[in-house]
Amino acid sequence: MSRQTDRAAAPRLSREGIIDAALALVDRSGPAGLSMRALGSELGVEAMSLYRHVHGKEDLLEGVVDALTSELTAVMEREADEHWQTFLQNVAHAVRDIAISHPLAFPLIATRHPAAPWLRPPLRSIEAVDILLRVLLAHGFSDEQAVRAYRGFSSFLLGQLLLEAAVRGADVGGAGPASGNGDPSFSGEGDESLDDAPEVRRLRALLSEDHSKEEFETALEILLDRLETELSQ
Amino acid sequence: MSRQTDRAAAPRLSREGIIDAALALVDRSGPAGLSMRALGSELGVEAMSLYRHVHGKEDLLEGVVDALTSELTAVMEREADEHWQTFLQNVAHAVRDIAISHPLAFPLIATRHPAAPWLRPPLRSIEAVDILLRVLLAHGFSDEQAVRAYRGFSSFLLGQLLLEAAVRGADVGGAGPASGNGDPSFSGEGDESLDDAPEVRRLRALLSEDHSKEEFETALEILLDRLETELSQ
DNA sequence: ACCTGAACACCGTTCAAGT
DNA sequence: ACCTGAACACCGTTCAAGT
């Protein structure tokens, strides 16, 4: 037996490890699957032990969201010297990468109340917003233009990526039980009741096609074009 | 004592009444405040009684979302003969009215998994989508153009209104306890730590201004213009 | 210093029992 | 026919107790 390491403490738990495990659990079984008890047993520990490292479930979820968005702030810092269009493109793609690799967790970013009311998801940290504003201002945006661009950029990302994450999350299996609607008129998988929806029925294949990548790119183009137009007048 | 009415049954509970009460409860205290037991006591009844009229909590939430969006389908039916631009404008405003009058409940529309993967929130019913497609097709949109328009319209509404609902929901008090961040470096209300975010600090007043109405209107204009351009080429 | 057992006040849900 | 009591398997959280 060695002396220090395996006799005293050797804390098996850390805030970081707990948050990582929580994110993994949410990725696997959705936010509903994350309970303190389930997380504990995942880590080979009783649920109560977690409270030594995390202030409660609320704090844990905050930690998961932070973990998810922390790489984002790093990207923003790294790209802060690019032209504003390149910068926004790269940030947009970084956010999309997060949404795609964590489709079940991404809604947490959108849904949880940010620390300040003017922090708009998915950009949830003051630093992130500060970097974004700084880049825009450095390239000739006025204060008002920069703030408007920040707002437009946020809602673009949120709308686009929440829908894309929902589609991918459903594949992963975040839907839970297929929810058996009360009406007996609904029976099967959702293909029913297309009887009084002729256009939906006719366009079903088209509606089911996944064009999220192209949609994202063109919507981003349009947004950037609009910002540029606004900037030069 | 009269004969029929107060002797037999006179069912005090109905699916509709339960759903209405659930929506009222969510409006007041957020989705987290909705429990079967709380809802029961709201209705002067034990929680178990609810299961006679509702298939469980999942079904109840589905009912709440349906109640929230049912007026919407009515609006769409009523406006289906208008020009497509007028139609989309009126639908957009109807959705916004819902978001504004139920800021705490609106995220449910966005977050809950729709019945079919190509049903994009906030348009969550097959009928609604069918009407929308029909209107567009009737005004010369091709199949592809109509589907693209549906997609653009959905993510516009979702991004815009989820953010607006979040701001208004925070006012109503949906944030819950101010969440006491773990770091002791955070102490007050969120105004702290602006020290390393000079632009945010400088633009704080501007960032806090609420321009959601104008933003919504101009973003809607831009979307409609884009669709029109796309249509005529 | 770190983890745990026992306990408390909640959940959603089922089912036999009451009226 | 409708509501309820009791029960079950879960929650989050606290705190004295163990090592």
Q: With H, G, I as helix, E, B as strand and everything else as coil, classify residue B21.
A: helix
* Interface probe, candidates B76, B162, B207, chain A, greatest A C-beta count within 10 A: B207
Q: Extract the tokens encoding B70.
A: 């049912």
Question: Residue B171: what pLDDT?
Answer: 78
Joined tokens for residue B15: 């699916």
Contacts of A191 (CB under 8 A, 6+ apart): B116
Distance (Å, rounded) from C-alpha B184 to C-alpha B189?
A: 13
Distance between CA atoms of residues A68 and A192, nearest Å: 38
Cβ distance B133 to A176 less than 8 Å, yes or no, reads no
Tens of pLDDT, residue by residue over B9-58, are: 457 899 999 999 999 999 999 999 999 999 999 999 999 999 999 999 99
Give the residue among A129, A134, A137 at the shortest CA–CA distance from A153.
A129
Q: Which residue is nearest to nucleotide D1 (CA to C1')?
A: B9
| CATH fit for domain A1-54, picks 3.50.50.60, 3.40.50.150, 3.40.720.10, 1.10.10.60 | 1.10.10.60
Least trusted range by pLDDT, from A67-71, A168-172, B19-23, B174-178: B174-178
The integer distance in angstroms from the CA atom of A112 to the C1' atom of D13 is 21
Chain A neighbors of B80, CB-CB under 8 A: none
Question: From the CA of A174, how many Å to the C1' of C17?
Answer: 38
Task: Say what the pLDDT of residue A188 is.
Answer: 36
Chain centre distance of CA A115: 16
Indicate yes or no: CB of A130 within 8 angstroms of CB of B196: yes
Per DSSP (E only), the strands in B33-107 are none
Tracing tokens 């060695």 back to the chain, one arrives at A2
Q: How far is A13 from chain B (nearest CA, A)?
A: 17
- CB contact (8 A) between residue A181 and residue B59: yes
Of A14-23, A114-123, A135-144, the poorest mean pLDDT is in A114-123
Residue B40: CA atoms inside 13 Å, Cβ hemisphere, count?
Answer: 15
SS (H, E, C) chain A: CCCCCCCCCCCCCCHHHHHHHHHHHHHHHCHHHCCHHHHHHHCCCCHHHHHHCCCCHHHHHHHHHHHHHHHHHHHHHHHCCCCHHHHHHHHHHHHHHHHHHCCCCHHHHHHCCCCCCCCCCCCCCHHHHHHHHHHHHHCCCCHHHHHHHHHHHHHHHHHHHHHHHHHHHHHHCCCCCCCCCCCCCCCCCCCCCCCCCHHHHHCHHHHHCCCHHHHHHHHHHHHHHHHHHHHCC
Q: Do B181 and A115 touch (CB under 8 A)?
A: yes
CATH number assigned to the domain with residue range B70-232, chosen from the 4 options 1.10.357.10, 3.20.20.140, 3.40.50.10800, 1.10.3720.10:
1.10.357.10
The model's pLDDT over B144-195, given as tens digits with 9 standing for 90+, comes to 999 999 999 999 999 999 999 999 988 776 544 333 333 333 333 444 578 8
Q: Do A170 and B129 touch (CB under 8 A)?
A: no
Output the pLDDT for position A194: 86
B173, HSE (Cβ side, Cα atoms, 13 Å): 5
Dump pLDDT digits (tens) for A86-99: 999 999 999 999 99
Q: Suggest the residue from B126, B153, B202 to mutate for an interface test with chain A (most A CBs closer than 10 A).
A: B126
* Tokens coding A126: 């003051």
Distances (CA, A) of B150 to A154, A218, B1, B99, B154: 20, 15, 58, 19, 6
Question: What distances in angstroms separate CA A97 from CA A106, A135, B67, B99, one per listed residue?
Answer: 11, 22, 35, 28
Take residue B8 and report the two structure tokens written for it: 């037999």
Taking the domains of chain A in order of start, what are their residue ranges? Answer: 1-54, 70-232
Average pLDDT over chain A, rounded to an integer = 88
User: What do you get for the CA distance between the two ends of chain A, in Å?
Assistant: 75
| Whether B121 and A182 lie within 8 Å, measured CB to CB | no
**What is the per-residue pLDDT for A173?**
62
Within 10 A of B95 (CB to CB), how many other CB atoms are there?
A: 24
Cα–Cα distances in angstroms (integers) from residue B226 to residues A94, B19, B145, B221, B222, in the given order: 26, 39, 11, 9, 6
Could you tell me how many residues make up chain A? 233
- A4-13, A207-216, B84-93: range with lowest mean pLDDT: A4-13
| pTM as predicted | 0.90
- Tell me which nucleotides of strand C come within 7 A of a protein CB: 1-6, 10-15
Q: To the nearest whole number, what is the mean pLDDT of chain B? A: 89
**8 A C-beta contact, residue B200 and residue A126:** yes
Residue A200 Cα, gap to closest chain B Cα (Å)? 5
* Residue with CA nearest to D15's C1' atom: A48
- Nearest protein residue to nucleotide D14, judged by CA and C1' positions: A48
Amino acid at A127: E
- The residue type at B60: L
Question: How far from B204 is each of A99, A133, A149, A192, B78, CA to CA, in Å?
Answer: 28, 12, 15, 51, 43
Instruction: For nucleic chain C, give residues with Cβ below 7 angstroms from it.
Output: A 9, 11-13, 40, 45-46, 48-49, 52-53; B 34-38, 47-48, 51, 56-58
Q: How far apart are CA A53 and CA A56, in angstroms?
A: 9
pLDDT of amino acid B206: 97
Q: Is B176 helix (H, G, I), strand (E, B) or coil?
A: coil
